Structure 1
Amino acid sequence: MSDWTIPADRPEYAAAVEAALATMDLETKADLLAGLDMWRTIAVPEAGLRSMTVSDGPIGVRGRRWTVADPSLALPSPTAQAASWDPELVRRIGNLLAAESIRKDVDVLLAPTINLHRSPLGGRHFEAFSEDPYLTGRIAQAYVAGVQECGVATTMKHYVGNDAETDRFTVDNIIGERALRELYLRPFEMITAAVRPWGVMTAYNSVNGHTMTAHKELMAVLRDEFGFDGFNVSDWGAARHTVEGIEAGLDLAMPGPFTVYGADLVAAVREGRTSETYVDDAVRRMLTLAARVGALEGVEAAVSERNAAVTDPESLLREIAQRSFVLAQNDAPEGGEAAILPLKADAVRRLALIGPAAAKARILGGGSATVFPTTVVSPLDGLTAALGDRVEYAQGVDLFEQIEAAGKGFDLKARPVRADGTELDPEPLANGDVKWMGYLPGDLARDDFRLALLDGVFTVAETGDHVFGTRGLGHHKLVIGDEVVFEGDQDYATDDPFEAFFGPGIERATLHLEAGQEIPVRHEFTPFSFPPGFPPSVLFGLMHTPPRPDEDRLIAEAVEAARDADVAVVVVSTTALTESEGFDRPDLRLPGRQDELVAAVAAANPSTVVVVNTGSPVEMPWSDDVAAILLTWFPGQGGGNALADVLLGAEPGGRLTTTWPRRLEDAPVVKVVPEKGELHYDEGIFIGYRAWEQRDGYEPAYWFGHGLSYTEWTYEDLTVAGDEARVRVRNTGAVTGREVVQVYLSPESGVDIEGGIETHRLAGFAAIEAAPGETVEVTIPLEERSFQFWSEAHRAWRTVPGAWTVAAGRNVADLRLQAQVKQ
C-alpha cells in the first residue's frame, strides 16, 4: 500500500470553502444539499461552484443516461474482483473506472459496495466483495485508491448493515455492538484509515432503531473515531427526516430536488427546529468535495490532471476475469489418469458446449449496477474463436421464468412526444426496456411531456406462438403489425419504489408468426404520474416471449452432443430473476432444469466440465459426478475470451471470498426475512467460515479461500518476527502458476472471551506467481487489530491474551505451516 497515491487537500481549500459559503443564503445552501435531479447537484455560479455529477458503479460507470446510446465498459462483478485476492489488480480496476468516469463527466462514483455476505441468500451479494471484513477492507482500499488517485471521488456503501434486500426500506437490523465493530463497521474503518475516501453512502435500512440516514451515533463513529472527512450522500430515496438527517450529518439527500432538504430544511431552520450551523457544516463538506474534484473555481483539484487513460481496456477486462475464475474441482475423468483441465487445444477434436448462458452471456447482476457495453463475448464466442468449428453448441434447457423485455430480433427506438404531439428525436434501445431515470430526452420539461413512444421492427426468427406484453405503471397501447393487441392500464401495489418502476411484465397477447416475417411494433406509454420523490422518470417495457421449445428434446440433444464429444462443457447460470438488487433468494438452487441437464450430460460423458456463471453460491448436487467445476462469477463483457483462456491453459487465478455450502439447510446463517419489521443478527460475529468452524458435523462444499491451480505448491517455511509473518512457497509443479498465500490467526484453546471467539480469522494474504521450481518468499504484516476483540463491557478494543497460532496455507481448511506468538 505504500506506493498508493492518496490525494491530499491543498492548503487553500479551507479559505476557498469559507469564501464560497459566505456567498450563499439559506435557500441556496438548502437547495445544494437537496440535489438538482437524479444524478446532479445544483450549480452556484456566484460561489464559483459548478454542478457535480454522480453515477452508479461498481462494475461500470453508467453516467447520467441509462441507455445503450451511451455505452459503458462492463467489468467483472465485485465478487469476481475480490476473488483475485490481489489489491494491485483491483487498484488497476479503480484506474479503469476512473477513466470511464472522466470520459462520462462523472465526479463521484457511487461505489464500492462493502457490505458483507452474511447469508448466502443475499440477492445482491454479487455487488459486494466477501463474507470476511478484513478481505473486504483490503480489496476496497485498493478500489478506492485506484479511483481517487485519478481525481474521481468514491462513496463507501451502504453504511451500514445493508446485507440483505428483503424489506430493505423498512427493516430494522438489530446488530450487537461487537458484531458491528468487528464485522460490519470494520471495512469502513480500514478504508478510512488507509486511503481517505471522499464519500460515504448511507443505507435504506435502520440499525438498532434508527434509520441510517439519520443515525447520529454511527455517523459519529465514522467521523469522530475513524476520521472520515468526506461527504455523506443518502441512498436514492433513503432520506426520510429533515431535522434528524441534517443533525446526524447527512449532507446530500438524493435524488433531487424533491427531497427532505430544500424548502423543508429552510422551514426547519426558520422555525427554530434545527440550527443553520448544521446546514453550514454540510455545505462545507459539499464544497470540500467540489474542491477535491475540481468543481470549485479558484482552487486546483486534488489531482491536477484527471487523466486515467487505459491503453487497452478490453485486454484488462479479460485479465481481470481470468484472474477471478476459481477452479473449484479438477479431477481425472473416469478411466483417465490426469486432471481434466487444462484442455490441450490440439487434442480436442470436438467440444460440446451446452447451456443457454453459453450463447447468451450472463455478464452482470440485475439492478442499479446494470450498464450497456458495446460488445459482449459469450462463452460460445470465446471458445469458437479458439477452437473454430470443433465447438458444437446445444442449448440444453429453456430458462424461461416469466415474460422478459423484448430482445432477440427486435430493432427498437424510443422517443418522447410533446404535449402538442411533436415527436422528438429517437434514441436506440438495447432491448424493450425504456429507462429514462431522472430525465426526459431532449431535456423536455415535465409539463411538456405527453407520452413515450417505442417503435421498430421485429424480425421473427422462429415460427410459432409469440407472446407480447407490457411493463410499467401507466396506460399502454400496444400495436403489433396493424393490430392493437392491448390498450389499457397497468397497476400494482408494492412497498418498494424500484419494484414499482421496473416490473413485473404482464402478458397481453399471443400471435402465431412465421420465421422471416418483419413485423412493425409500436408501444405508446403514458405514465399515471411521475414517480413521487424523484425527478421526472419514465420506465416501461415492451415484453416478449418467443415460442417455448420442448425441454425434453433440448436435453436429449445436449446429451447426444456430449456423448459424441471429447469433452462436454456445461455453462449453468442464475437469471435476472434470481440474483438482483431488490430481493433476496428463497433458495440456492439453479433455476429451471439445469441440475437435471448437468446430471444427464455427465452420465453421457465422464469428461464433463461445469462452468458456474453466478454471482454467489448455488447448490451443485451433481458435483461428485463431473470432472471439473469452474466458478466464473459474472465475468463482464470479456468473460467468454477469459473462459477460453482458462480452459485451454491460462492459470485460473481466483480464490473463494465466501464459503459455499453444499445445501442451503447446512448454511449457518439463512435468516434474511424480518419479523415484525426487525431482522436480528443473532449469530453475532459468527458468519461465513467463522460460523462453519463452530459447527460439528457440517462441511461446506468449498471453504473460504479455496481455489485450485494448474500447478503444485509446497509451503516450505513460516517465521514470525515482530508484527510480520514470512512465508516461503515453492512451485513444485510443471507450469508457471499463481498462488494466494493466506495467513490466519487462532487464539489458544479455551480462551475465555465474552461472546466467544472464532477458531480462525484471516489476518493477511499475498498473491504470488512462480515458474516451475521457483521459490517465493512473502512478508505479510500482522495488524494489531487482528489480535483484538471488541469488548462490549468496556466499549473498546481489547487484546486477546495468551498464545496465538499463526498459520499459513491455501485456504482456511488447508493450513500447512504454523508458528506461535505471544500477546
Structure 2
Amino acid sequence: MSDDSGTHELTLQQAAGLLSGADMASTKAVPSRGIPAVMMTDGSNGLAMNLPDFSGKVPATCFPTSSAMAATWDPELVSRVAARIAIEAREAGAQVLLSPGMNLKRSPLGGRNFEYYSEDPHLTAELATGFVHGVQGQGIGACVKHYVANNQETDRMRVSAEVSERALREMYLHAFEQVVTRARPWLVMASYNRVNGTYVSQDERLLTGILRDEWGFGGVVVSDWGAVENRVLALSAGLDLEMPSTSGASDALVVQAVQEGALDPEVVHRSADRVAALARRTAHRGGGSTPHDADPDPDALAVLAAARSIVLLQNDRDVLPLDSAANVVVVGAFAHTPRFQGGGSAGVHARVPAGSIVEALEQRHAGRVTFAPGYDASGTDLLEDSLESAVTAARAADIAIVVVGSPESAESEGYDRADLHLPSVQEQLIRDVAAAAPRCVVVVIAGGPVHTETWRHEVDAIVATGLAGQGVSQALGAILVGDSEPSGRLAETWPVELSDTPSYLSFPGESGRSIYGEGIFVGYRGHDLAGGRVAFPFGHGLSYTSVEYSDVAVEPTDSGWAVSLVVHNRGRRPGRDVVQVYVEPPAESPVRRARRTLAGFASVAIEAGESRRVRIDVPTRALERWDERLDRWVLDAGTYGFAVGRSSRQLLVRADVDVAGVVETPPLTLDSTLVEWLDHPSAGPALRAAVAEADPSGRTSGMLTNPVAILMIGGLPIHRLAIDAGNALTTSMLDDIAASL
C-alpha cells in the first residue's frame, strides 16, 4: 500500500502525531498536507460502531458471529456478509473495519471464541480471506487480528504464550500468512499478549522480520487498544499506529527519542508514510463510491447466513424435519428470547430483533405448537412449577423441542469460560422432558461446544445454531420443518469431557505464562492422534438427504495436487454437502505429525438425484512441515494419503500419492550429537576416515562403532568428546570436516 506522497515534508512533531490516535476510534488528520482522519470500528458480525457519546451503538444488521459463519464452510458466503457489513460501516462514516478475528481456538474455553472461526488454520485462512475480499471490495479497509497467539482472555493484556517455533509457524501464524499474502488486508492488529516473553507490539521478528520481510505486508500495523508497553521500542519493531489516543504523551516520547539519538527519524517517517497512505487510500476508495456486487437485502442475507450456519448434530429415527401433523411443544425461555451474539466490543445493536423461535415455528408448522418456559430469561434458574408444567406438556405432545444454551454471562470478551456445561437447570430440564416426551429435539444456542454427555444419549436430535445473529429464529424454524436444508458443519471439535481436550492441562496457564504444551496438536489434530472419544468430531454435520462419494482421483498440478471425485445425491431432497479433503503424512515421517490435517474443502449444492464431479486443489504447503533445525518449510518424501469425507473421523474415499520430496540434512555444528555426525551421509564417512587416519591403534574408531558405546554416549554434543586428549577426535578435525561439506 505505497503512496508517492511521503511525509518528509512534515515536521518531526507532525509525523510523530500521525502515529497515535486522535480519540478512541480515529487517527489524526493533517489537512494542510491532504491527510484525512481515518475512522475505525469493530464489525465481525455487523457494524459495532459506538455512538459519539458512547451511550450505545449505531443500529445495524446483526449477522452470525464468526464462529457460526465458520460452520458454513463457505468463503463466498462469508464474503457476501462482509460486503454488507462494509457498506453499513461506510454509510456510518467509518473507513476501516477492525475484523476479521483470526485466532485459533486452542481451547473450547476461550471466552472470545465466538469471534473466531476455527481450531484449524486452513479453514480459518479460507474464511478470513473471503471476509477481507468482501470488505475491501467495498472500498473499506480490513484489519486482521489479533496477531498473534492471542488465544485466551485470562490475563490477556500481558500473558506470555510460550509456544514452539513449529507450532507457531504451522498453527498460529499460518492463517495470518495466507490472508496477508493472498487477500492483502490494509491493516494488521498487534495483540496484547507476549510471545515467548516479548510483547507482540514490540517484537521486531514478528512485526518486521516475518510480517513485512517474509510475507511482504505493506500496510499499517496497529496496536490493539492499549496494547503498547513501550512506544519507542514498539515503533522500532514495526508497530506504526498506537490506538487509542494517549493525548499526545506517546507522540512526545517519540520526538524525545529522536532528539536524544535513541531513534532514527527515518523510522518515524516510514511509519507515518504508511498511516498517511492508508488515510489517502480510504478517502479515495470510500468517499462517495457506490456499493457493487453486494446483496441488496441485508435482512434476507442475515436469515440465509443463519440457516447455513446451523448444524444438525444428531437425528435419530429421522425425527427431523418435523412431521407436518405433529403436535409440538417448545420448551425453554431462550425459545422466546434467543441469544444471537456474544458480548464485548463486537456486539451489534441489531436493527431487527431476532424474534421468537416459537412464533417462527408457528408460522411454518401445520400442526399445533405450544410453549412452556421451563427456566427464566437468564437461563440459570427454574421458574416456579415450570419444570412440572414443561414435563406435562411434553408428555402430551408428539415432539418436544427443548431450547437451551449458554447464558449471556458465559461468553464474552474479557474472560474465559469456566467450563462447558449448560446451567444445571437446563440439563435437568432436558433429561426430564426427554424422559416424558415420545420424541425429543434439543436446540443448543451457544458460541462454542457444550457438554452433552449427561443427556445426548437420551434425546433424538440435537441442533446447534451457534450465535446466529438476528435471523436465527426464522432460519431455525425453516430447518426444523424442512423448508431449508441443514448444511452446517462443525468448525471445532465437541469433546466428551473438557479433560479430553489437548490443551486441558496447560490452558490458560499461570503466573503470567501459558505453556502451549500440546504443540501442533490443537483440536482435532490432538483428538485424532490420541484416538480418544469425542462427542462430535471436527467437520461433522448431518443432512436431510443422502450423499455418496466415488471415483476419487489425485493429479499433480503446478502448485500442488488436484483432488477430484464424484458427489452423488441419492436422496429425494436437494442438499448441500461440504466435501473435506484431509492429508495423512507418510508413516516414516522423521517427526511426530498429526494423523490427518484439513487440506481443502468445497461447499457443494446438489439437487436430488444429481451427480457432480468436484475438484479441490491442495497446495504443496498442505503437505509441508516446519523444520526447527533448518528454520524453514520442508516437504518429506514418502507416501501421503488424500482422504475425503464429511469429518475428520468420517472418511469415505481415499487415494495414496508418492511424493518425491527432499531429503533434508540439517547442518552440523560442534553442538550436534555424536549420532547426528555419524548418521550424516557425508560427514559420517569423513569422520570415520579421519579418525582412522589419526589413530592407527583403532581405539577411537572402536568407540565410534561399538553399539553399546554409541547407546551410552551417542547423544552427547560432539565437542564434549573432542576435548578428551585420550581419543583422536579434535575440534579442528570437526571444523575441517564441516567446512568441507
Normalising by structure 1, what TM-score?
Answer: 0.77
Alpha-carbon offset, residue 127 of structure 1:
0.6
Rg comparison, structure with higher value: 2
Counterpart of 2:411 in structure 1 is 579
Counterpart of 2:23 in structure 1 is 37
RMSD of Structure 2 on Structure 1 (CA): 1.7
Q: Is the 8 A contact 1:149 1:303 kept in 2?
A: no
Which residue, 308, 314, 317 being the options, matches 1:323? Answer: 308
Which residue, 472, 477, 492 being the options, matches 1:644? Answer: 477
1:99 aligns with 2:48: no
1:689 aligns with 2:524: yes
Alpha-carbon offset, residue 224 of structure 1:
0.8
Counterpart of 2:265 in structure 1 is 276
Identity %: 40
1:634 aligns with 2:467: yes
1:365 aligns with 2:381: no
Q: 1:401 to 1:325 in 2, by over 3 A?
A: closer
Counterpart of 2:397 in structure 1 is 565
Aligned counterparts of 1:812 and 1:69: Cα–Cα separation in 2:
40
> 1 or 2 for the larger relative contact order (CA 8 Å, sep ≥6)?
1
Q: Is the 8 A contact 1:247 1:278 kept in 2?
A: yes
Counterpart of 1:499 in structure 2 is none
Q: Is the 8 A contact 2:564 2:615 kept in 1?
A: yes
Alpha-carbon offset, residue 375 of structure 1:
2.0
Q: 1:654 to 1:758 in 2, by over 3 A?
A: same
Which residue, 770, 776, 779 being the options, matches 2:606? Answer: 770
The C-alpha deviation readout for 1:197-228, integer Å capped at 9, x for no partner, is 11111111000111011111111201110111
The residue matched to 1:262 in structure 2 has which SS?
helix
Q: 1:381 to 1:230 in 2, by over 3 A?
A: farther
Which residue, 747, 764, 787 being the options, matches 2:585? Answer: 747
Counterpart residue type for residue 347 of structure 1 = A
Alpha-carbon offset, residue 752 of structure 1:
1.9
Counterpart residue type for residue 79 of structure 1 = S
Counterpart of 2:156 in structure 1 is 168
Which residue, 332, 335, 356 being the options, matches 1:355? Answer: 332
Alpha-carbon offset, residue 301 of structure 1:
3.1
Q: What aligned pairs does 1:496-515 form with structure 2 within 5 A after superposition?
A: none
Counterpart of 2:321 in structure 1 is 342
Aligned counterparts of 1:800 and 1:379: Cα–Cα separation in 2:
52
Alpha-carbon offset, residue 67 of structure 1:
4.8
Q: Is the 8 A contact 2:401 2:441 kept in 1?
A: yes
1:287 aligns with 2:276: yes
Which residue, 238, 255, 269 being the options, matches 1:249? Answer: 238
Q: Is the 8 A contact 2:160 2:195 kept in 1?
A: yes
Aligned counterparts of 2:639 and 2:305: Cα–Cα separation in 1:
39
Which ranges in structure 1 are unaligned for 5 or more consecutive residues? 1-8, 295-299, 333-338, 403-548
Counterpart of 1:458 in structure 2 is none
Aligned counterparts of 2:98 and 2:249: Cα–Cα separation in 1:
21
1:807 aligns with 2:639: no
Alpha-carbon offset, residue 646 of structure 1:
0.6
Aligned counterparts of 1:676 and 1:235: Cα–Cα separation in 2:
23
1:613 aligns with 2:445: yes
Q: What aligned pairs does 1:252-651 form with structure 2 within 5 A after superposition?
A: 252-258=241-247, 261-294=250-283, 300-301=284-285, 305-308=289-292, 310-332=295-317, 339-344=318-323, 346-348=324-326, 350-376=327-353, 377-387=355-365, 390-398=368-376, 400=378, 551=383, 553-620=385-452, 621-649=454-482, 650-651=484-485
Higher strand share: 1
Counterpart of 1:656 in structure 2 is 490
1:665 aligns with 2:486: no
Counterpart residue type for residue 648 of structure 1 = V
The C-alpha deviation readout for 1:22-81, integer Å capped at 9, x for no partner, is 442122222221111011111111011221100012111122425557211111010111
Counterpart residue type for residue 371 of structure 2 = Y
Aligned counterparts of 1:260 and 1:616: Cα–Cα separation in 2:
41
Counterpart residue type for residue 222 of structure 1 = L
Alpha-carbon offset, residue 715 of structure 1:
0.7
Counterpart of 1:119 in structure 2 is 107
Q: What aligned pairs does 1:714-725 form with structure 2 within 5 A after superposition?
A: 714-722=548-556, 723-725=561-563
Alpha-carbon offset, residue 287 of structure 1:
1.5
1:152 aligns with 2:140: yes
The residue matched to 2:612 in structure 1 has which SS?
strand
The residue matched to 2:427 in structure 1 has which SS?
helix
The C-alpha deviation readout for 1:573-611, integer Å capped at 9, x for no partner, is 112221111111121101241100000110111311111
1:58 aligns with 2:44: yes
Q: 1:141 to 1:69 in 2, by over 3 A?
A: closer
Q: Is the 8 A contact 1:714 1:731 kept in 2?
A: yes
Alpha-carbon offset, residue 128 of structure 1:
0.3
The C-alpha deviation readout for 1:774-810, integer Å capped at 9, x for no partner, is 0011111110101100000000000021010111111
Counterpart of 1:676 in structure 2 is 511
The C-alpha deviation readout for 1:355-399, integer Å capped at 9, x for no partner, is 121111201011111111122123133223324893212111236
Alpha-carbon offset, residue 401 of structure 1:
8.2
Counterpart residue type for residue 314 of structure 2 = Q
Alpha-carbon offset, residue 115 of structure 1:
0.3
Counterpart of 1:731 in structure 2 is 569
Counterpart residue type for residue 694 of structure 1 = L
Aligned counterparts of 1:611 and 1:259: Cα–Cα separation in 2:
51
Number of aligned residue pairs: give it. 647
Counterpart of 1:519 in structure 2 is none
Which residue, 623, 641, 649 being the options, matches 1:787? Answer: 623
Counterpart residue type for residue 638 of structure 2 = G
Counterpart residue type for residue 815 of structure 1 = L
Counterpart of 1:456 in structure 2 is none
Counterpart of 1:24 in structure 2 is 10
Deviates more, 1:259-268 or 1:726-735: 259-268
Counterpart residue type for residue 681 of structure 1 = Y
The residue matched to 1:257 in structure 2 has which SS?
coil
Which ranges in structure 2 are unaligned for 5 or more consecutive residues? 660-741
Normalising by structure 2, what TM-score?
Answer: 0.85
Q: Is the 8 A contact 1:291 1:302 kept in 2?
A: no
Aligned counterparts of 2:287 and 2:36: Cα–Cα separation in 1:
17
Counterpart of 2:214 in structure 1 is 225
Aligned counterparts of 1:186 and 1:259: Cα–Cα separation in 2:
36
Q: 1:622 to 1:204 in 2, by over 3 A?
A: same
Aligned counterparts of 1:124 and 1:302: Cα–Cα separation in 2:
30
Q: Is the 8 A contact 1:174 1:208 kept in 2?
A: yes
Aligned counterparts of 1:139 and 1:570: Cα–Cα separation in 2:
31
Alpha-carbon offset, residue 771 of structure 1:
1.2
Which residue, 708, 732, 741 being the options, matches 2:542? Answer: 708
Q: 1:135 to 1:146 in 2, by over 3 A?
A: same
Q: What aligned pairs does 1:65-84 form with structure 2 within 5 A after superposition?
A: 65=51, 66-67=54-55, 70-84=58-72
Counterpart residue type for residue 121 of structure 1 = L
Deviates more, 1:253-262 or 1:278-287: 253-262
Q: Is the 8 A contact 1:292 1:303 kept in 2?
A: no
The C-alpha deviation readout for 1:142-184, integer Å capped at 9, x for no partner, is 0000100111001110000111110001201101000000000
